[in-house]
Amino acid sequence: MQWNRGVTLVLVVMMLTAGCLGGGSPASEVAGESENTPGGGSSDGEDADGPDLTDPEAALRDAGSFTVTWQYAGVDATGMRTEVTHEYHADLRGERTLTVTSSSRDGQAEGTTEQFVADGTTYVRTGTAEAPSYVSYPGSADVVGTAIALSQARAYGANEDLTTRGTERFDGVSVTRYELSEADSQLIQAGSAATSGAPGSAEITDFHYVVLVDEDGLSRYESWSFTGRTAEGQDISGEWEYTLTNVGATSVDDPDWLADARAATA
């Protein structure tokens, strides 16, 4: 699994140093409830056994509904800050989904794309609130695979270097907190330092990964972050956050723009 992490990290750093990560298409409420804020586990004990993860696709299809949110914020080699958010709200039994993607660069919004699926028809809204565009077409998209692919838990979960940090509450359920071991983080930093002299490369100066896993073996929350410096002296950083909430309790209402979309595409 060391190789998997290295490949993932190299790809991310390459995209950051090229200034191309985060601007294109790849939250459910998790703030506001203290139990939804990762941190403050109930035990300080360490256990080198990684999480026992279930098949997320099978579990979510069985649950019938869920909400996934993925957020990224980072500064690339040009000094530009990019933020991206993806939201997936799925009612599988009702065959209704809403996907929302938004992004910004240096604080300037780049627009939002929303895709709503119901009754065998897909409606898409793009552009700004002042000048939206709509399209519709028959058929639907299965968001389960897309949503769970944003989780990195399986890349890390089979690795003994994930350390147990006790239990806590998240989204109303009990979860076990796992963190990448300090030794493994230092290995990643050392590996990047060994190749950081070439133009366009970067040295990773700090690296953290946290995952919260519920009693059913589902990854409910992940936080993945690093800071670094390019060979040219530019500071770079990246922070990812993945949440899986409202499992079995997500409902998908008609978006407020649906009537406009139907009128525009009739």
Q: What is the pLDDT of residues 209-236, one digit of tens each?
A: 899 999 999 999 999 888 888 888 889 9
Return the H-helix or E-strand segment holding 167: strand 162-170
Burial class (CB within 10 angstroms; exposed 0-12, middle 13-18, buried 19+) of 5: buried
Average pLDDT over residues 67-89: 94
Each residue of 239-255: b (16+ CB within 10 Å) or e? bbbbbbbbbeebebeeb
Q: SS3 for 193?
A: helix
CA within 13 Å, CB half, 58: 5
* Nearest alpha carbon to residue 18 among 77, 72, 75: 77
pLDDT in tens, 232-243: 888 999 999 999
> What CA–CA distance (Å, rounded) separates 69 from 35?
17
Cβ atoms of 13 and 5 closer than 8 Å: no
pTM: 0.79
- For position 229, what pLDDT does the model report? 87
Cβ atoms of 51 and 211 closer than 8 Å: yes
* Sheet arrangement for strand 81-91: 132-138, 121-127, 108-118, 96-105, 81-91, 65-75, 235-245, 219-230, 202-214, 173-180, 162-170
Residue 156: pLDDT band (50, 70, 90) is low
Tokens in use for 53? Answer: 């993860």
Is the per-residue pLDDT at 58 higher than 60?
Answer: yes
Average pLDDT over residues 165-169: 96
Q: ∠ at Cα 81 (223, 221), nearest 5°?
A: 15
Residue 142: pLDDT band (50, 70, 90) is confident
Question: pLDDT averaged over the chain?
Answer: 80
